[in-house]
Amino acid sequence: MGLAVSASRTEMVEVALPQDANPLGNVLGGRVMHLVDMAGAITAIRHSRRAVVTASVDHMDFRNPIRVGELIILKASVNRVFHTSMEVGVKVFSENPLTGERKHTTSAYSTFVALDETHQPTPAPPLICETAEDRRRYREALVRRKVRLGHRYKSE
């Protein structure tokens, strides 16, 4: 049985703390990457109700810095289920908690693989798209998959 995109959609909010930042007070890219991985994994687990591993992360650009004291908002949803793998899109914003001003920091596409009890890849439930936006992301995910698998690590 399929599951709607909205059933696993996840929003995470963190406060940017000094230990997350460089000496200029800007949050480190690695911290944002960690949060993207967490938000994506939670979303994939909620969709599949399985343990998951990160198989790949597409490239990430950091468009705007996040300052210490700002909120880090992560919005994640499953874009497409292939067989055992799921592409999850994560959009990251900074928010000034005093003014509410939001800036788009980065977007990332990660692929998670659902695992069974023996830690082998196992099918994830089909995805049900509910909105035009869901359907656009679903279509575009197939194009990204082809590129990503073309770059896939080949064992010796």
Ligand X SMILES: CC(C)(COP(=O)(O)OP(=O)(O)OC[C@H]1O[C@@H](n2cnc3c(N)ncnc32)[C@H](O)[C@@H]1OP(=O)(O)O)[C@@H](O)C(=O)NCCC(=O)NCCS
> Which residues of the chain form contacts with ligand X (CB under 6 A)?
53-56, 82-85, 111, 113, 121, 148-149, 152
Closer residue to ligand X in complex, CB, 4/33: 33
Count of CB atoms within 10 A of residue 60's CB? 17
Closer residue to ligand X in complex, CB, 10/148: 148
Closer residue to ligand X in complex, CB, 1/151: 151
User: Please, is 55 exposed, middle or buried when counting C-beta atoms within 10 Å of its C-beta (0-12, 13-18, 19+)?
Assistant: middle
We find the least distance from the C-beta atom of residue 94 to ligand X, in angstroms, to be: 26
* DSSP H helical ranges for 49-129: none
We find the least distance from the C-beta atom of residue 153 to ligand X, in angstroms, to be: 6
Closer residue to ligand X in complex, CB, 77/84: 84
Phi-psi region of 120 (alpha: psi -120 to 50; beta: other; left: phi over 0): beta
Closer residue to ligand X in complex, CB, 26/122: 122
- Dihedral pair phi/psi, residue 63, rounded to 5°: -85, -35
We find the least distance from the C-beta atom of residue 4 to ligand X, in angstroms, to be: 19
Which amino acid belongs to residue 32?
A: V
What's the number of CA atoms in the CB half-sphere (13 Å) around residue 78? Answer: 30
Token representation of residue 9: 């959609």
Under 8 Å between Cβ of 22 and 67: no
